[in-house]
Amino acid sequence: MVEPLVECVPNFSEGKDESIINSITDAMVSIDGVTLLDVDMGADFNRTVVTIVGPPTSVLEAAVAGTRIALNLIDMSKHSGEHARMGAVDVVPFIPISNITMDDCVDLSIRYAERVSSSFDLPIYMYAKAARKPDRVNLPDIRRGEYEGFEDKISDENWTPDYGPAIFNPQWGVTATGARNILVAYNVNLNTNDKSAANRIAGKIRTSGVLVKDENGDKILDEHGKALRLAGKFASLQAAGWMYNEDTAQVSMNLLDYETTGLHTVTEAIRQEADEMGLKTTAGELVGLLPLNAMLDAGRYYHPDGNADHHELVESAISGLQLDALEPFDPKQRIIEWAAGEEL
């Protein structure tokens, strides 16, 4: 039986000092079974996003080990950056990849919260699938006010931490942890430099849709004064029009649940909308890594034999999604399970 695989994507409030991040990641990968998939440092944000994967218990131990080092080396009282933040260890999500359930990942987040709150007196908020209150499901709601506002916020009865003391530590701030679906960041390029074309397509396919406007171009409000929206085609999809470069417009997307709305589904919808505009798609672009099943789902759509083996299905997905149009696409580096050495 294939071992359960879980991903953890802790965000640390340090994006300038590489030695600090190296110390954190060294501690994490020192745990047996843990694979470091990505380290994304951002100097302007002064923030680093680390992606690790491995068996559940190993990933939990790695998250705790990285937290320990981060709390020793990061001082939030001296921190500034463009990204919203509230703590040295800002957020620690656990994400099911294979042979593990969302409930299992909720349990991992609880065990993490119990460990770090008791070991370091660190205030912890549970969010996403592990949230204990409706206003803690969405991370931006917890972050509101940011680090500077938490000295007062934490004393509000409604914002008592789920774990740890309701006491603000200026050096560490506070931390959120929870469980969520994996987010697949995926973009599709068009053969036009007209950003508005990409915006129109994005508005038609994304969950939030577009604002309803009157003949003068003004927003139409409902009886409560809220702007009316025409819902988009797909659930669990964020999308916007961007420019890939000065010659190429791009539909930029976050697939919040690829099992609900898959890569091939959005790609084919974009192709249909583009065709009606006299345009074509020229490339697909994957940002980061994705689960094997997301590629297999697309491969079954594009391959004439849906029962082909995994490698054939992945190659069909790469071709059908045009993932190799911009640069070579190595599935052994871009598929989480294969990058972690669990090639099937």
Residues paired with 35 in a beta bridge = 53
**What is d(CA 119, CA 108) in angstroms, rounded to the nearest whole number?**
16
Q: What positions carry a catalytic annotation?
A: 83
**What is d(CA 206, CA 270) in angstroms, rounded to the nearest whole number?**
11
Determine contact, residues 124/142, Cβ cutoff 8 Å. Answer: no
